[in-house]
Amino acid sequence: MAEVEETLKRIQAHKGVIGTIVVNAEGIPIRTTLDNSTTVQYAGLLHQLTMKARSTVRDIDPQNDLTFLRIRSKKHEIMVAPDKEYLLIVIQNPCE
Amino acid sequence: VSQHITETASTCRVPKKLLAETKDILSWLNPLRESGNTNNIYPLNVCWHREVLLPLTMLTTRVNVPVPNKVKFCIVFDEQGKDVTPRPLYRPEPSASLHRQSKILSTQDFSGATGSDFLSSFSMHQTSGVNASLVGPFSRTYGSSTISKSTTSTTESMADEIKNIFIFTLFNLTDVQVRRDEIKEQLTKEDIDKRVDIYLTETETIWLLDMPTVMMSVESEDAEKVQERNKDYIELCKNKVGNDRFVERMMQTLNGAPKTKEVQCEKILMEDKGIMATSWDLYDSFNALEPMLTSSVTERSSRPTKSITSSSIIDLESVILARIHEEEKDHSEAILKSEKFQQDLFFMERILMENVFQPKLAAYRQLPVLLEEAEEGEEEEEEKKETVVSSSLLLDLSEAPEEILPPNLERLWSYTCEWTNGHNVSSMAWNKLNPDLLAVGYGQFGFQEQKKGLACCWSLKNPMWPERIYQCDHGVTALDFSLANPNLLAVGMYNGTIAIYNVQTHNTTALLDSSESFDKHIGPVWQLKWIEQDRGITGDDKGEILISISADGRITKWLIRKGLGCTDLMKLKRTASERKKLTGEKEKKSEALISRQAPGMCFDFHPRNTNIYLAGTEEGHIHKCSCSYNEQFLETYRAHKGPVYKIAWNPFSADMFLSCSADWSIILWRQDSVRPILTFSSTTNVVHDIMWSPKSAFVFAAVNEGRVEIWDLSVSTLDPLIVTFANPGVKFTTVLFARNTDCILIGDNNGIVSVYELRNMTASDSNKHLS
């Protein structure tokens, strides 16, 4: 548990990381470094996108599964580690 | 009349032949009847038959019609006990005529219908209201003999018929009543509720009239009479055609009046459900089916009726299970503690690092970095759109083959974290299996500065945090990864302890420790090496052994056999200078020795012949020894004036080796010559570490305290090719070449391991040998 906390702290303190969010399957944030409205927005939108991505991957080959999702935009990069029970989201600005 | 009726009903049989001829007679025969529905179970729509009749005769009671003898009898009651026995279509039909008489049923008229489909006949009935056809049932009742009667539809005849009917019905009723009582006793509640199976079968054909042909011999007595009769008959048939006595008459089938019955059922609930059947959904459900059947199903909570998401069995189950979990424990905590989450965090961190260090890593991997364009990614390297700082330089390189820049070291990144700050990097080793995994030992060299040491495993993918941190009580002075078991890391410490760690697990305690062993080292272990040795000579198993050299003057071989057992390979004896070597007594006299043994600083095994190795001592001597002899040295090379810190065989030219020492010099030796071949001294600093380049026979790197030097012997033997200075205050202590790339790792006394890229080095032929 302590290791998890430590790793989370390290990630949050990492260079360029704008925010870290951990939400459970129902969209309730467990850990977040952003404000609540942004967190909820991210969680909701990314949840849908993750489901769609997973569906896409599995439609092509049902034995395959989605492990990681990265969305690179102009301003920053959103990285999502999806799971059945939670979503780990990190937003990073890699330019700095 | 009633008798007559029954008689006719029972005895009227029409032979099949006659049936064909007397179609009109048959036309009024109930088609259903003909098909043999003698079980008397007719569709419910026939039951009107009885109901309609009764108002005239028996208003309240329901009547079971006595079935003609041949037909089976069955009763069907509905919930209220009402008799809803399907009534036969063909019924002694005085009743039929009765109902027609009543005005109640004026709407339900009959029309002639000879169709076999009874229902269709009903509709015909209702649409047409022909009264003339009403006659039909009358006639039918009375069989063929009543054909003549059927023509009359006068009231008198009707009256007669009604009378007849009355009698009949009365007869029926009495008959029926009795039967009904009988039946009532038998019927109980269970019988009503009981499921009754009704079988509809084709019934046997009822012969109404069967007159088989009788054969007689012509010569018999009655033959003549029969012949005459036959003749008469033939004549009769002939005469029939225009005869008044024979009238063709059409008959009608009896068509009952239809009755509409309304039935109301409970409201049928409709649910909308949308499902998207994706191929993975099908796959999941299919796979989940088998285990689901065996495992106990958890209670299902009610689901919303409208759901337009994919609903595989697994999803349902997992959501429900998740809900159950919620009740039991705090869900968010569970997530955080879950292993998958840890793993995800781990990956996330690496990916973050990758984003940050991407250009450096790309350079490490020697990927061509293009300007403003997508790179050709290789393995885990990702594309980056922004220009890379060093890309411009590399671009120049690739464009212009002539070297614009001299060979130099480009700093990429450094492995450092808060744990390692302030520690002195004492040794570095690559993992034999995974060339991206680096083990770094942190420990002070000097006696005064001793503090707790560290051994860290760093991965290329995460330069900011080590994968493993092993804290040791004493400074780490040597480490090496095993070749046979790439997960074993041997760590040697300042107090002489050797510990073996398994880097696969997250366990931070050592697998094996030599601190309990008898023959453990007393002095700091300055070098460790896993050597693959053929031990056929001594009879031991062929395999890998760990060899260590320490300041107590012993070179020991460690075996992992129920703990760490060791045997000495060699004891480094102090040897005086060459001149005095022979006289042992004189040694004692001239030198007051603290110990007979010389502290060993370093060793290196011959790359090809693992029986031969070189050992360097604090005295400055280099001894060539063999594993077979543990008493004597094969050769001693004396040239250094200070402790020999490192010895390295040239990986390409098997005869040459290099040694560096605290006397500011690096000496190149040849195996067979006791005199050095070349001496490199460029600084007045202690040379801590040297290493040959794995790519070229001529290149080696050396660190002395303030700078790192790359020597290329093919270019110059006097000056190093590249010199890079350390930051002021920082002393370089160790150097390591990377095997799979042109990079060099330099450790300093601040705990930082910097990765430098060797650039603009001319590609030297690795097959060349030093002459």
Q: Where are the domains of chain A?
A: 14-95
DSSP state of B118: H
CB-based contact, B568 to chain A, within 8 Å: no
Answer whether A31 sits within 8 Å of B344, measured CB to CB.
Answer: no
Answer whether B352 sits within 8 Å of A95, measured CB to CB.
Answer: no
The stretch B746-755 carries a mean pLDDT of 86
In sequence order, the 6+-apart residues with CB closer than 8 A to the CB of B483 are B432, B530, B532, B544
DSSP state of B134: G
* pLDDT tens sequence across B328-356: 346 667 777 778 888 888 888 888 887 77
Cross-chain CB nearest to A30 (options B282, B322, B332): B332
Choose the weakest-confidence range: A26-35, A65-74, B708-717: B708-717
Percent of chain B residues topping a pLDDT of 90: 1
Q: Looking at residue B558, what is its pLDDT?
A: 83
Answer whether A55 sits within 8 Å of B345, measured CB to CB.
Answer: no
DSSP state of B104: G
Whether the Cβ atoms of residue A27 and residue A43 lie closer than 8 Å to each other: yes
Residue of A nearest to B309 (CA): A51
CB-based contact, B277 to chain A, within 8 Å: no
Q: Looking at residue B274, what is its pLDDT?
A: 87
The stretch B6-30 carries a mean pLDDT of 45
A16 chain-B contacts, CB cut-off 8 A: 352, 355-356
* pLDDT tens sequence across B513-543: 777 777 778 888 888 888 877 655 444 555 6
Exposed, middle or buried: residue B563 (CB in 10 Å: 0-12, 13-18, 19+)? exposed
Q: Looking at residue B330, what is its pLDDT?
A: 62
- Is the pLDDT at A24 greater than 80? The verdict is yes
CB-based contact, A75 to chain B, within 8 Å: no
CA distance A66 to chain B (A): 12
Cross-chain CB nearest to A81 (options B322, B336, B348): B348
CATH code assigned to A14-95:
3.30.450.30
pLDDT band with cut points at 50, 70 and 90 for residue B8: very low
- Is the pLDDT at A44 greater than 60? The verdict is yes
Choose the weakest-confidence range: B357-361, B383-387, B449-453, B679-683: B383-387
Counting every residue written for chain B, the total comes to: 771
CB-based contact, A86 to chain B, within 8 Å: yes
Higher-confidence position of B143 and B315: B315
* pLDDT tens sequence across B243-261: 677 777 888 888 888 889 9
* pLDDT tens sequence across B24-80: 444 444 444 444 444 444 443 333 333 333 333 333 444 444 444 444 567 777 777
- Is the pLDDT at B156 greater than 70? The verdict is no
- Is the pLDDT at B385 greater than 50? The verdict is no
> Which runs of consecutive H residues, i.e. helices, occur in B54-146?
94-101, 118-127, 135-141
CB-based contact, A73 to chain B, within 8 Å: no
Answer whether A4 sits within 8 Å of B341, measured CB to CB.
Answer: yes
Answer whether A24 sits within 8 Å of B335, measured CB to CB.
Answer: yes
The complex's ipTM works out to 0.80
The mean predicted confidence, pLDDT, of chain B is: 69
Query: How would you classify the pairing of strands B498-502 and B488-493?
Result: antiparallel
* pLDDT tens sequence across B635-650: 888 888 888 888 888 8
The stretch B87-112 carries a mean pLDDT of 50
The stretch A37-45 carries a mean pLDDT of 92
CA distance B413 to chain A (A): 14
Between CA B753 and CA B771 the distance in angstroms is: 34
A63 chain-B contacts, CB cut-off 8 A: 283
* pLDDT tens sequence across B656-679: 888 888 888 888 888 888 888 888
Place of tokens 């489901």: A51
Which DSSP string do the residues of B375-436 spell out, in sequence order?
A: ----TTPPP--SPPTTHHHHHHHHH--S-SSPSEEEEEEEE--GGGTTPPEEEEEE-SS-TT
A28 chain-B contacts, CB cut-off 8 A: 332
CA distance B395 to chain A (A): 21
pLDDT band with cut points at 50, 70 and 90 for residue A90: very high
B348 chain-A contacts, CB cut-off 8 A: 11, 79, 81, 88, 90
Higher-confidence position of B418 and B392: B418
CB-based contact, A31 to chain B, within 8 Å: yes
Question: Which stretch of DSSP H or E encloses residue B545?
Answer: strand B543-550
Q: Looking at residue B92, what is its pLDDT?
A: 59
SS3 B305: coil
Conformation bin of residue B229: beta by default, left when phi > 0, alpha when psi is -120 to 50: alpha
Which two three-digit tokens encode residue B595? Answer: 């110990």
Q: Looking at residue B535, what is its pLDDT?
A: 54
SS3 B4: helix
Give how far Cα A53 sits from Cα of A34, A69, B309, B512, Å: 25, 8, 15, 47
CB-based contact, A53 to chain B, within 8 Å: no
pLDDT band with cut points at 50, 70 and 90 for residue B624: confident
Task: Please provide residue B531's backbone torsions phi and psi, each rounded to the nearest 5 degrees.
Answer: -120, 135
Q: A with B: how many residue pairs have Cβ under 8 Å apart?
A: 93
Higher-confidence position of B713 and B61: B713
The mean predicted confidence, pLDDT, of chain A is: 89
Percent of chain B residues topping a pLDDT of 70: 61
The stretch B759-765 carries a mean pLDDT of 64
Amino acid at B35: S
CA distance A52 to chain B (A): 11
* pLDDT tens sequence across B410-454: 888 888 888 888 888 888 998 888 888 889 988 888 777 778 888
Question: Which stretch of DSSP H or E encloses residue B23?
Answer: helix B23-27
Give the closest residue to A85 by CA, choosing from B325, B296, B281.
B325
Choose the weakest-confidence range: B86-95, B294-303, B658-667: B294-303
Q: Looking at residue B91, what is its pLDDT?
A: 58
Between CA B195 and CA B59 the distance in angstroms is: 30
Whether the Cβ atoms of residue B493 and residue B472 lie closer than 8 Å to each other: yes
CA distance A40 to chain B (A): 16
Between CA B600 and CA B615 the distance in angstroms is: 7
* pLDDT tens sequence across B591-615: 455 567 778 888 888 888 878 888 8
Higher-confidence position of B47 and A49: A49
The stretch B178-206 carries a mean pLDDT of 71
